[in-house]
């Protein structure tokens, strides 16, 4: 399932949303301009490598610089490829404008960053010995999805669903689309616990951690003035 757009009007221009997207695109452009070897080093230094944090002696022996904790933040702006970037930014654009609309730009930025940090912590706790750098904005975006799920459960999501070789467009309520999405994340997360920690792939527990954190804390970031203006 791929969300194409939501039927949910916003009242303010999502300025911070577009600045976040621009920052992600700028960092990705920097990544692709680096030579292969330098790009790999960039991902290991600024991506979040769990073992670098859980085993500082190992990290020192491997030549990692100090500042491993900062990678919880910097990893949010790195991506593993063009499709990874495009899908994350598209999802953020579909759901993030309405969440920013109710929070305001500064609160939305703080909420987004904290969701990303919570997602990184969840991934770290699920695989503390992993030596694979974790990159991507999906943990922070998952927090935005968690907030959207509770804030706009009846909003309609236009969804692209490929069935065999036939594309279908389906209009789904947000509560169903995002409910199915988090169910699949939880299912995949528990399945992944049985595999080796150094396998690459999707950081399922980062998605789960970000989503749950976003659900729990989003009321703290709502702007009462914006809510009244939107009659929400």
Question: pLDDT digit string (tens) for 156-201?
Answer: 999 988 877 777 888 999 999 999 999 999 999 888 776 665 555 6
Closest CA to 15 of 107, 115, 118: 107
Neighbour tally for 68: CB within 10 Å: 18
Cα distance between residue 122 and residue 124, in whole Å: 5
- Residue-wise pLDDT for 33-56, tens only, equals 999 888 899 999 999 999 999 999
Question: Is the CB of residue 92 less than 8 Å from the CB of residue 186?
Answer: no
Q: What average pLDDT does this structure show over 18-43?
A: 94
pLDDT of amino acid 149: 96
CA distances to 47, 107, 160, 221 from 111, in Å: 21, 6, 28, 7
- Residue-wise pLDDT for 91-108, tens only, equals 999 999 999 999 999 999
Helix (H) or strand (E) holding 51: helix 50-54
Give the chain's domain count: 1
Question: Is the CB of residue 202 less than 8 Å from the CB of residue 135?
Answer: no
pTM attached to this predicted model? 0.91
Cα distance between residue 205 and residue 207, in whole Å: 5
**CATH code of the domain containing 96:** 1.20.1540.10
Domain limits for position 47? 2-229
Query: Any idea what the Cα angle at residue 213 is, between residues 192 and 138, rounded to 5°?
Result: 55
pLDDT of residue 228 exceeding 70:
no
CA distances to 111, 141, 214 from 175, in Å: 21, 17, 15
pLDDT of residue 11 exceeding 90:
no
Q: Whose structure tokens read 């970031």?
A: 221
In the sheet with 156-163, reading across from the earlier edge strand, the strands are 2-7, 156-163, 166-173
pLDDT of amino acid 49: 94
pLDDT of residue 232 exceeding 80:
no
pLDDT of residue 225 exceeding 80:
no
């Amino acid at each position: 399932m791929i969300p194409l757009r939501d039927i949910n009007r916003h009242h303010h221009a999502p300025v911070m949303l577009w600045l976040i997207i621009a920052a992600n695109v700028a960092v990705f452009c920097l990544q692709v301009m680096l030579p292969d070897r330098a790009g790999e080093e960039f991902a290991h230094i600024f991506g979040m490598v769990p073992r670098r944090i859980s085993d500082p002696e190992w990290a020192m022996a491997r030549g990692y610089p100090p500042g491993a904790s900062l990678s919880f933040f910097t990893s949010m702006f790195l991506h593993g490829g063009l499709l990874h970037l495009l899908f994350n930014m598209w999802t953020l654009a579909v759901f993030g404008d309405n969440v920013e609309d109710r929070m305001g730009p500064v609160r939305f930025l703080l909420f987004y960053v904290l969701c990303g940090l919570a997602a990184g912590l969840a991934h770290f706790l699920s695989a503390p010995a992993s030596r694979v750098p974790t990159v991507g904005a999906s943990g922070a975006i998952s927090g935005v999805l968690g907030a959207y799920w509770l804030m706009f459960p009846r909003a309609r999501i236009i969804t692209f669903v490929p069935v065999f070789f036939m594309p279908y467009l389906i209009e789904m309520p947000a509560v169903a689309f995002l409910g199915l999405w988090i169910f699949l994340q939880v299912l995949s997360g528990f399945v992944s616990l049985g595999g080796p920690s150094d396998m690459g792939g999707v950081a399922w527990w980062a998605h789960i951690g970000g989503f749950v954190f976003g659900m729990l804390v989003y009321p703290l970031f709502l702007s009462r003035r914006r809510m009244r203006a939107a009659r929400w």
